[in-house]
Structure 1
Amino acid sequence: MTLKQLKYALALGRLGSYIGVAKSMGVSQPAVSLQIQALEEELGIILFDRSTKSVEPTLNGIAFLEKAQSLVTESRQLEDFAILLSEEIQGDVCLGIIPTLSPFLVPLFIDDLNKRYPKIKLKIQEAITEDILRGIKNGTFHGGILSTPIKLKSNLVLDPLFYERFYLYVSDKHELYSQDEIDIKKLDYSDVWLLKEGNCFMDQVTNICSIQPNSNGNFVYESNNIDALRRIVEYKGGVTFLPELSTLMIPSEQEEMIKVIKGKKRVREVTMVSLKTEVRRNLLNVISQVIKDSVPSQMLSWEDKEIVKTNFVEK
Structure 2
Amino acid sequence: MTIQQLDYAIKLAHFQSYKRAAQELGISQPALSMQIQKLEEELSLVLFDRTRKKVEVTEKGQLILQKATILLNEANQIHQLAHRLHNEMSGELNIGIIPTLAPYLVPLFINQLNNTFDRLKINIKEALTEEIIHDLKVGTLDGGIISTPIRSSYHFQTQPLFYEGFKVFVSPLHALYAKDEVDISEISMKDVWLLKEGNCFRDQVNNICELNGAKKEKESQELFYFESNSIESLSRIVEFKGGITFLPELTTLHISVEKEDMIKELAGDKKMREISLINLPNHVRAEDMQAFAEVIKRNIPRHLLNKGNGQTVPTNVDIN
What TM-score does the superposition give when structure 1 sets the normalisation length?
0.92
Match of 1:143 in 2: 143
* 2:118 paired with 1:106: no
- Distance (whole Å) between structure 2 residues aligned to residue 269 and residue 304 of structure 1: 13
Match of 2:52 in 1: 52
3-state SS, counterpart of residue 178 of structure 2: coil
Match of 2:179 in 1: 179
3-state SS, counterpart of residue 51 of structure 1: coil
Match of 1:250 in 2: 255
Q: Which amino acid aligns with 1:96?
A: G
Match of 1:312 in 2: 317
Match of 1:298 in 2: 303
Greater alpha carbon shift after TM alignment, 18-27 vs 178-187:
178-187
- Distance (whole Å) between structure 2 residues aligned to residue 30 and residue 228 of structure 1: 45
3-state SS, counterpart of residue 27 of structure 2: coil
Listed as ranges, the matches of 1:87-236 within 5 Å are: 88-210=88-210, 211=214, 215=220, 217-236=222-241
Q: How far apart are 1:132 and its partner, in Å?
A: 1.5
Match of 1:67 in 2: 67
* Cα gap change, 1:25 to 1:174, in 2 (>3 Å): same
Q: Retained in 1: the 8 A contact 2:84–2:90? A: no
3-state SS, counterpart of residue 298 of structure 2: helix
Unaligned runs of 5+ in 1: none
1:20-73, Cα deviation, whole Å (9 max, x unpaired):
222111122232223223323333333333333433333332222221111111
- Distance (whole Å) between structure 2 residues aligned to residue 252 and residue 126 of structure 1: 28
- Distance (whole Å) between structure 2 residues aligned to residue 262 and residue 232 of structure 1: 24
1:239-272, Cα deviation, whole Å (9 max, x unpaired):
2111000001112221221122222221100011
Q: Retained in 2: the 8 A contact 1:90–1:283? A: no
Q: How far apart are 1:100 and its partner, in Å?
A: 1.1
3-state SS, counterpart of residue 264 of structure 1: coil
- Distance (whole Å) between structure 1 residues aligned to residue 160 and residue 240 of structure 2: 36
Q: Which amino acid aligns with 1:170?
A: V
3-state SS, counterpart of residue 99 of structure 1: coil
3-state SS, counterpart of residue 38 of structure 1: helix
Q: Retained in 2: the 8 A contact 1:161–1:271? A: yes
- Distance (whole Å) between structure 2 residues aligned to residue 49 and residue 113 of structure 1: 47
Aligned residues: 315
What TM-score does the superposition give when structure 2 sets the normalisation length?
0.90
* 2:47 paired with 1:42: no
- Distance (whole Å) between structure 2 residues aligned to residue 65 and residue 297 of structure 1: 43
- Distance (whole Å) between structure 2 residues aligned to residue 2 and residue 108 of structure 1: 44
1:147-178, Cα deviation, whole Å (9 max, x unpaired):
11222221110100100011111222333323
Q: Retained in 1: the 8 A contact 2:84–2:91? A: no
Greater alpha carbon shift after TM alignment, 273-282 vs 35-44:
35-44
- Distance (whole Å) between structure 1 residues aligned to residue 96 and residue 194 of structure 2: 23
Unaligned runs of 5+ in 2: none
Q: Which amino acid aligns with 2:253?
A: L
- Distance (whole Å) between structure 2 residues aligned to residue 152 and residue 60 of structure 1: 20
Greater alpha carbon shift after TM alignment, 234-243 vs 253-262:
253-262
- Distance (whole Å) between structure 1 residues aligned to residue 90 and residue 12 of structure 2: 33
Match of 1:269 among 270, 274, 277: 274
Percent identity over the alignment is 48
Q: Which amino acid aligns with 1:16?
A: Q
Q: Retained in 1: the 8 A contact 2:128–2:198? A: no
* 2:31 paired with 1:31: yes
- Distance (whole Å) between structure 2 residues aligned to residue 181 and residue 208 of structure 1: 15
Q: Retained in 2: the 8 A contact 1:190–1:216? A: no
- Distance (whole Å) between structure 2 residues aligned to residue 40 and residue 191 of structure 1: 54
- Distance (whole Å) between structure 2 residues aligned to residue 47 and residue 289 of structure 1: 43
3-state SS, counterpart of residue 194 of structure 1: coil
* Cα gap change, 1:270 to 1:216, in 2 (>3 Å): farther
